[in-house]
Amino acid sequence: MARREPVYEVVQVLARSILRAQGLRVDWRGLENIPAEGGVLLAVNHTSYVDFLEAGLAARRAGRWPRYMLKAELKKIRIMAFLIKHCGAIGVDREHGAESYHEAVTALEAGEAVIVYPEATISRSFEIKEFKSGAARMSIEAGVPIVPVIVWGTQRIWSKGTQRRIGRHRFPVVVQAGPALLPDGDDPVALTARLRAAMSETLADAQRGFPAPAGEDWVPARLGGGAPPPDEAARLEEEEFALRKAKREAERRADGG
């Protein structure tokens, strides 16, 4: 299969090398909750630009070759287009998502593992945001479980609204998989609510005992940190989206569209 091409092998080796080069101390927890075979959705929280590395390596440690659901815009970057093609990633077009949705369902029905980010975008508050319903709908249609996966600590390295700390360090990171959720006759709304509750619970477990220096930009406000609280984070996100939309419209007008 495409995801087992040599390119994918090289990518996973590079991912491990990056973690070693940074000196990250990763605590892998609950990976036995990721089934060794059969279709499964790995629902990952989104707090940084680099949490995809830990999410993918968690799946590999569980014996799976995951397929990521990634923003289709990344295909505009030549190296990313190459990696997406050879690692079996599924490009998600937010305005026309039916094609990527059906590709993911087909992969799940074929017994593959798919990584999805229910929050869609990075959480500036580092709390669990509201979820899109896509993960629940895919789980129900394909008849596969969803495993909540929390990556905690990578927001200290590189995220929105934080100081970039790329380089060698010994930052702790927790990657924790919670118990799998089965559709069990739920509708998408109910399953989405169950998933969000499970991920919030798993996040709380991952944060227990984790360093939380007061005032630090990567620590949630709830824990005494300097990150914006959820309502302020939502306002910042709305402003960002509005600016992006205005930029796209200006580009279309400039192109005569």
- pLDDT digits over 56-103, tens only? 999 999 999 999 998 766 666 666 667 677 678 888 876 667 889 999
Q: What is the mean pLDDT of the chain?
A: 91
pTM, full prediction: 0.92
Give 256's pLDDT tier (boundaries 50, 70, 90): confident
Percent of all residues in the chain with a pLDDT value above 70, rounded to a whole number: 91
pLDDT tens digits along 184-201: 999 999 999 999 999 999
Ordered domains of the chain (ranges, CATH) = 6-227 (3.40.1130.10)
Residue 237 has pLDDT above 70, yes or no: yes
In DSSP notation, 39-99 reads -EEEEE---SSSHHHHHHHHHHHTT---EEEEEGGGGGSHHHHHHHHHTT-EEE-SSS-HH
pLDDT tens digits along 146-186: 999 999 999 999 999 999 998 898 999 999 999 999 999 99
Q: What is the dihedral of CA 182, 183, 189, 193, to 10 degrees?
A: -10
What pLDDT is recorded for position 154?
A: 97
- Average pLDDT of the residues in 3-24: 84
